[in-house]
Structure 1
Amino acid sequence: MTGPQVAPDSPGGVLRLIRSGAAASRSDVARLVGVSASTAAGRVQALIDHGYLREAGDGKSHGGRRPRRLALRADSGSVAAVDLGSHHASLAVFDMCGTLLAEHEQPVRIGDGPSVVLSQVFSEVTQLADPAIPLRGITVGVPGPVDARTGRVVSPSRMPGWNGVDVREVLAAHTDLPVVVDNDANLMAVGEHSADPVRHLVFVKAGTGIGCGVIASGRLHHGAVGAAGDISHLAVRGREDVECSCGRNGCLDAVASGAALVRDLTAAGVAVRDPAEVVELAWDAHPVTTRMLREAGHATGEILSTIVNFFNPDVLVVGGQFSRAEPFVASIRSTLYERCLPMATEDLQVITTRTGRLAGVTGGAHLMLEYLLAPERVNAAIG
């Protein structure tokens, strides 16, 4: 989704050029935007005066005086990101260039409800942030669908008491900072894309639940209302006997998620409490666990084969707890190559996450920085 059109020679347009790496000096700005040297210098000076840019030494000379290099002011503020799970929350603070400053994992119980959980994580974020650096915004990722138009949580499977909740409104009782809200898999997709900015990427989160985020042409794709990439309630062939909390039967989340495998292993007499313990059993080559992980990977791969054929991504990334379980990942990979068109998989990379447990908070920070440094918002701030 693109923002409003802005003049390329406006301060916000100039900052966008510098953030993208296309321009590194006043002369670059003048050449790329097509304005005089004095106009480019005026735009850059306004950005320096308002704390967006700094001079970073001399650049390379192309004949004549060396240009002064321009760089973002990393220390002009910080942004926080919260990635909520069913039983824990990942919290992190980043500078204005997206560099991690501090991170922490906090136990939570999502079933305690939005007021309790959001109050708890906001308190932790304020303690994590450096009081000497102003906090500029917070992103919250939730393990359920989010309406991209309103930021409200919509019919989540494992978030009792959260349906219809406006997370920004709840946090407004604690702060007047800008708040961005999105589905956790979307944040992870953005975080993973930051590690390797390919054009088209699909990120699959396989943990307690199963989710999916899509990067199309280098940008997070929400679709019309925010449901793009939600594969959790697509039906798995031959598993119509498995009931799902949504009221349907055979949904992928009810068949192949971490919660589903904990349920099935417990029913088979295997003592296991959470997806992390499922992975540990697989590492010990526990035969029943290994078989169930392979079956779950096959079911997930069947659903993803439609996504790959339709969308044709460059990379498919598997994240979440089950990305550490080779039987699950290998089964996804083999099913994709079996089910997809050869043309769709010819150059497809199927890999595990490179950003690991920080994928969600990394993506959250990037979304907040995009919000704060959007050209139209920069122009409004400078006037």
Structure 2
Amino acid sequence: MIKVLQLGDVHFDTPFKGLGTEISSIRKEDIRETFKKAILRGKEEKVDFILITGDLFDNKRVFKETLVYIANVLKSVSPIKVFISPGNHDPYNEDSFYKLMEWPENVHIFKSKMETVEIADRNVVIHGVAFNEEHVEECLLHNVKGEDGKINIAVIHGDVISGGESLYNPITEEDIKESNMTYIAIGHKHKYSGLLKSGETYYGYSGALEGRSFNETGEKGVLILEIEDEVVKEEFLSLSKRKHIDIDIDITDKSTTEEICEKICSSIGENSNDMIRVNLIGEIEDIVVRENVIKEKLKDKFFYIEINDNTKEKIDYENIKKEKSLRGIFISEMLKCDDEESTEALKYGLMALEGEDII
């Protein structure tokens, strides 16, 4: 049996614009800590190989300290072999950070077109390829064939698509099927995909190590893969230090700022160390929602919190129906009905009469 750890899309030294200097610095350190935790988990799990599927770095600004840190962490798990496939954020070229330092002997960085590394004593062939530019419009998996009688594992950065085009190494399920690989470890998409299969070839995205915005909610982590007799089993391990949580909280029955704060705290519960975005919803009356005041009151209770007011003013239908207008007649007639569908029709009908967009 072969055991593998897969991770990718680490994005070291992400600038985290808009979070402020303090939070940004902490989030950069979070990535470092989670990366180390992930690599050391490979050692604990006694994996044979570690596969890093690209975008190890975020952009063209990486601190030398970060490079040294990464190299030291990877060296610490030697003799476990580490294979890296550079992606669109960290392409391997003349300006590449991969060329700025000498990497540990247990690290192999793929540099260009598909190449293979054979591990004869394990009957394994590792296939890998690198982005050399930010955009790759042709599939890098084309014409790649696994060797018969061996466990063929590919590590690649790319965009698995069902149709259309992509600037990031477009890969179709047919490409995967024709590759004759046992398993393809893929990076680029930041959400864990689950274990997928096309033909006889298994493949999957491990997702990012840490979510970096509220577009990347949920658990983040790594994959532990077990490969035996052309059968692949996997386990997703959630390792991120913080999650991004985007939550709607209904404050319809709240009448003070303090009550709103209490509702937020009870709704979020034990996730106070995460990145929180609260969207206040519901119908309110006799209260002004002041996002800045709520955030100030909660700042010592949460690591990071955003407040968005999406509430609407409660409508006094009884008063409106007295109007001598189309709106008044509509409300008067609709209030005679007493079922859920009529309630929805009343709400959307009034929105239409007032010229609001209905989605």
| TM-score, scaled relative to structure 1 | 0.27
Greater percentage in helix:
1
TM-score by length of 2: 0.29
**Higher strand residue share:** 2
Structure showing greater Rg = 2
